[in-house]
Structure 1
Amino acid sequence: MSRRTTWLPDQHGAWAMLTVPFAAGTFLGDPTWLHLPLFVCWLLAYTTAFHLQQYVRLRRLSRNPRAPRRHVRPLLTFSTLVTVLGTPLLVLRPWLLVAVAAALPFFAVNTLYALRNRERALVNGLVAVVPACAVLLVALRVGGGTLAGGLAPLAACLLYFGGTVPYVKTMIRERRNRRYLYGSVTYHAGALVCAALLHPLWSVLFACFLLRAALLPGRRLRVRTVGLIELGCSAALLVMLLFSGV
């Protein structure tokens, strides 16, 4: 196993969820040089959390003592880097401590699910979506924007990325589960209504999200293809947020 494979989280769908809300918050406000170190710290915080949760999970469940140990070095490295790079940001923008504190309960819930080896649980995925999308407000505030101005874009991110949790399950792990399919389609129908209330033009894109949730499950698409479709949807969401005049 290569070092890259060992150190980088294998949760490929998470990268779009980490990037799109941050980018939206950055460019809906005024981009500054602080956004670059903040984004690096944001990714380092994610990798730190990932390796900590894997260490906790494998320490409890694995009979192979080497399994949890392979997460120790990346955990120490990423946690050190995020501390070194993040401390100056906290000095420059002390209010970031509030954002960190607000994310901790969600991190705690995800860690508890990891401890119980239930990381694939629906609730665990939905919990992880909240801080990943809420970083939009952080990036927006760093750029001088107001929290009120970020509420509608935040809602759009929550609606979309929240929907990816049940939808991806209908495409892979729960592709034969009709209840998941009905639940996913129902969720996306509700998300379409909410998006239309937030901004009439957003209903067009969310109608596309509803169609994919209703029509693609059962077509036996490759995991790679499913991932590429979601990358395209994430990019479309970002374009919508940046150019819809919110």
Structure 2
Amino acid sequence: MLKDKPVISNQHGALVMAFLPFLYAGFKSGFSPLHFWFAFSWLFLYLFSYPFLSLFSKKPTARNKKWAIVYFVLSLGFALPVIINKPDILQFLPIILPLGLVQTYYAKQKNERHLNNDIAGIVTFGVIGMASGYLVSSEYDWAILIHPTLFFIATTFYVKSMVRERRNPLFMELSLGLHLLLAVIYWFLGDKWLYFAYLIGFIRAALVPSFGLNVKQIGMLEFVTVFIFFICLIYSP
């Protein structure tokens, strides 16, 4: 049954974004044995999304159907120990499902690159991060949702201004404006670590467009930027 090559998205940056809030929650609230099961459940749910949404955005194939089922079953299997030991974790499901419907809608429209679709995915990552923190603290830590979500939205404007919307000056202006605005906000909030992260992001958004980088080089540079943000996030008060 599993002899053919797995269906996996080549958007490696999205995988990093998917797990950053999860890891941030672990460093902030602590890790528990349940995080092992939750991490693999989330990984397979993330992998499930690509072949599943491809059923709507492309011509449905038996291969996509098969791997969507395989990933979903694996995700559910790893989720069971978490649900059994922490059943109230299911309260996050009513938030995640509508966000999934938004992504399904844009897949049907064959418009997965729409900004609203990107934001729906980013918020999903943040909600999973909140759930990761809830496993240990049983509290809603909104910082786990808000900080990564804002950064990834600013990053999305930057990446779009460099690739698909490079001929649209509005995205460049939004990228620079949002990075600068958030840097100022965090400065006045007294969070020097996140101020520094957005300052780096602003400098990157202002200077890199003049370097003439290709898509792969832009992506590699983003790994560095996200790593800096993650370190700043961990040390942020």
Relative to 1, partners in 2 of residues 1:199 and 1:40: Cα closer, same or farther, differing over 3 Å?
Answer: farther
The 5 A counterparts of 1:50-129 are 50-59=50-59, 68-129=61-122
Shift of 1:145: 6.1
Q: Indicate whether 1:137 and 2:130 are aligned.
A: yes
What residue number does 1:179 align with?
170
The 5 A counterparts of 1:149-228 are 150-201=141-192, 202-228=194-220
Relative to 1, partners in 2 of residues 1:157 and 1:102: Cα closer, same or farther, differing over 3 Å?
Answer: same
Q: Secondary structure at the match of 1:143?
A: helix
Shift of 1:25: 0.1
Residue ranges of structure 1 left out of the alignment (5+ in a row):
60-66
Distance 2:188 2:83 in 1: 37
Q: Secondary structure at the match of 1:71?
A: helix
TM superposition score normalised by structure 2: 0.91
Q: Secondary structure at the match of 2:32?
A: coil
Q: Could you report, residue by residue, the CA deviation over 1:168-217 in whole angstroms, capped at 9, with x for unpaired residues?
A: 11111122221211122122222223333444312111111111112212
Q: Secondary structure at the match of 1:221?
A: coil
Counterpart code for 2:215: V
TM superposition score normalised by structure 1: 0.88
Shift of 1:124: 1.1
What residue number does 1:63 align with?
none
What residue number does 2:23 align with?
23
Q: Would the aligned equivalents of 2:130 and 2:144 in 1 still touch at CA under 8 Å?
A: no
Shift of 1:237: 1.7
Relative to 1, partners in 2 of residues 1:114 and 1:218: Cα closer, same or farther, differing over 3 Å?
Answer: farther
Q: Secondary structure at the match of 2:31?
A: coil
Q: Would the aligned equivalents of 1:153 and 1:241 in 2 still touch at CA under 8 Å?
A: no
| Higher relative contact order, chain-length normalized (CA < 8 Å, sep 6+) | 1
Residue ranges of structure 2 left out of the alignment (5+ in a row):
none
Distance 2:98 2:185 in 1: 26
Give the aligned CA root-mean-square deviation in angstroms. 1.9
